[in-house]
Structure formats: structure tokens, C-alpha cells
Amino acid sequence: MPRLTFLPASLLLCSLALAQPAAPVEVGIRPVREVALPYRGTAPAGVIAPNDSRIAAEVTAKVARVHAEVGGMVKAGQLLLELDATDYRLALAQAEAQVTAARARVALAEQRLRQALSLRKKQFVSDDAVLELQTGVQATEADLDVAQAQRAVAARNVEKCRILAPFAGVVLERQAQIGAMATPGITLLRLVDLASPEIEAQIQVAQADELPKATEIVFESQAKTYPARLLRLSPVVDVAARTRVARLAFTDSAAPAGSSGALRWHAPGVSLPPELLVKRDQTLGAFVIENGHARFVPTPTAQEGRPFAVALPPETPVVVRGQQGLTDGQPVTATDGTR
């Protein structure tokens, strides 16, 4: 009989124990305004010249003279290279002779037509003969147009033997050698623009919308800082890198073209220190306190080991001690997190 009464009593004690609420966990808290950091974005960036051109020949000819050397600065329109134009000058002379001959044929055809028109009044020439002569004039005029076009092509080829600088710049490379054969598409010189360079940065998609709102933007390279401003932000996302291209201009002194470094900016809003970041169900976030319970606040753009942006009121109590063992909805006892 005592054994029969013992079993129900045990079950009653177990159920009472299960019904007891979990004991609150002690955590340290501080307001968001006390632990928040100014939000700083960063992205890899480099300095590029407005124009970086590889100058090539447009015709096939030997290199006769080189007027620009590596490191030399040139003005727009300055002569860089001369190619041997002998063959092209001969072709131009031939084309000019063809134009002269075509003009003579036009003059002869027009003279015959005038005579025929005069004789037709006396009915010595038929209308068909006049029509044939008129057609002959049109044909010789068309031949003249063709000859003039051929002469223009020949003259243009002669001009192409003088290679001019398309813009003011500095010569970075020289492949052209005197006596070597230059062919279309083969680089002879590399010319880099001397105009103000620009910064090109690859901005992560999650940060791209922050850049136009940034209050301070700088380019850092070789332990130097250069203030910058946003010029353009591409609306297209690179599928492979998941980035958007940003172009920026220097607002003061500029870093040399070809420099690499990092773009950094301050954006409106705040971020929390990386040590407050926790992961729950493969999602990163932070814990805050609401009505005596822990609440997990996801931050999809957060990255482990880096400060992360939050959208919380300044007085929101955020857990700064004991957050690693918390679960969402767990009761807590909050103490001053500065201790």
C-alpha cells in the first residue's frame, strides 16, 4: 500500500518542478548610445587616369622616327611617331592623276553635249543622241567622284603616317623601334592622361546605398589620406562579385594614377562593436532587453569580426555581457554592463 501512494507523489513533484519558470540569467547591459561607434564603410579602391591609351598604327609601314620616350610628357596634338610614307605618297600621286584624267573626261563629255544641243536646234542631232550624251556626262561625273574619294583615302593614309598625341599625357611604354614594321592594332606607345585621375571602388551591394549619404569620404593609400567626393555609382550589380562600381573625384590633392588602397566613409547611423555580435540559427545579430526578456535583433548585413550597423533607438538597452549564452525570449536580470 505505501508503494502505491509513492508513485503518484513522485509524478506530482516532477510536474511541479517542470511548471516552475526558468531562473533569470544575469546579464550586463548598456544603452546603445554608450556603446555605439560611428558607422564607417570601407571598400577596396584604386586610382585610374581618365585615359590610358595604347597608341597603335592605322596603316602598315616601317617606323621612320620616334619623337617620344618613356617618362616624357607630351601635349595634345604633338607628334609622337613618323612612319615611312613613301608608298602612300606614291599612291596619293596616282590618285591625283586619276582625278585629273576624270576631270578631263567630264570636260570632254560636257563639250560634246553642248555641241549636240546646239545642233539639235537645227535638227542635225536626234533626241536619242542628246540623251545618250547627257548620260555620258553623268557617268563621267560619277567617275570623277570615285577618283576624288580615292584621292581622299590616299591623302588620309599619308596623314596616318604621322601619329599624334590624342591628349596631353605621359609616355609609360614604348614598343616602337626605328626600322621595325608597324601594323594596325599593334601597340607602339602607351600614353596616360595627365588630367585629374579618378578613384574607382568596388562597393558591396549591402553598403552601396550608404555611399551617397556619406558625410565624409577619404581614399587611403601608402599611409596617406585623400579627401574625395562621389561622382557616379553604377546601378548595375556585378553578378560574380556582388558589387557596384563607384567613381569618385579628389577634392584636394590627388594620389598618383595607378595607386591602390581603400575607400573609407562615414555614413549616418551607428554601428555596434564586433564583440557584441552573436549567431542564432545561422543569423548574425545582437541581444537587447525588452520587459525583462532577451530579444534577438538580426542584422543581415553584419560580418563576423567587424562592427555592424543597427537601427535601434539610442536608449535601447543592449546586452554587453553574457550574450553568448542567451536565447531569444529568455528571462534576464539586467545589471550595469560597465562593471
132: which 3 cell numbers? 545618250
**d(Cα 228, Cα 206) in Å, to the nearest integer?**
21
pTM for the whole thing?
0.61
| 247 vs 335, higher pLDDT | 247
Q: Say whether pLDDT at 3 is over 60.
A: no
Helix (H, G, I), strand (E, B) or coil at 115: helix
User: Would the pLDDT of 4 be above 50?
Assistant: no
Asked, colleague to colleague, whether 41-50+196-268 and 85-159 share their fold, the answer is no
**Strand order across the beta sheet in which 52-56 lies:** 52-56, 187-193, 169-174, 73-74
Second CATH level (architecture) for the domain 23-37+272-336 = Beta Barrel (2.40)
Q: Who's near 104: CB < 8 A, 6+ residues apart?
A: none
- 128-164 in b/e form (b: 16+ CB < 10 A) is eeeeebeebbeebeebbeebbebbeebbebbebbebe
The C-alpha atoms of residue 308 and residue 318 are separated, in whole angstroms, by 14
- Quick check: 1 pLDDT over 70? no
User: pLDDT by residue (tens digit) across 104-125?
Assistant: 999 999 998 888 888 877 777 7
In this predicted structure, the answer to whether residue 315 has a pLDDT above a threshold of 60 is yes
Q: Which fold has domain 85-159?
A: Helix Hairpins (1.10.287)
CATH code linked to domain 51-84+161-195:
2.40.50.100
CA–CA separation, 123 and 104 (whole Å): 28
Res. 339: pLDDT tops 80: no
Reported as a pLDDT band with limits 50, 70 and 90, residue 22 is: low
pLDDT mean over 31-60: 90
Domain ranges of the chain: 23-37+272-336, 41-50+196-268, 51-84+161-195, 85-159
Measured distance CA(227)–CA(120) in Å, rounded: 85
CA angle at 234 for the pair 228 and 238, rounded to the nearest 5°: 120
For Cα atoms 323, 282, 209, give the angle at the middle one, nearest 5 degrees: 95
Band (222; pLDDT cuts 50, 70, 90): very high
List the CATH code of the domain at 41-50+196-268.
2.40.30.170
β-pair partners for 317? 31
Q: Over 60: is that where the pLDDT of 285 sits?
A: yes
| Helix, strand, or coil (residue 120) | helix
DSSP conformation letters of 275-297: GG-EEETTEEEEEEEETTEEEEE
Confidence category of residue 40, pLDDT binned at 50, 70, 90: confident
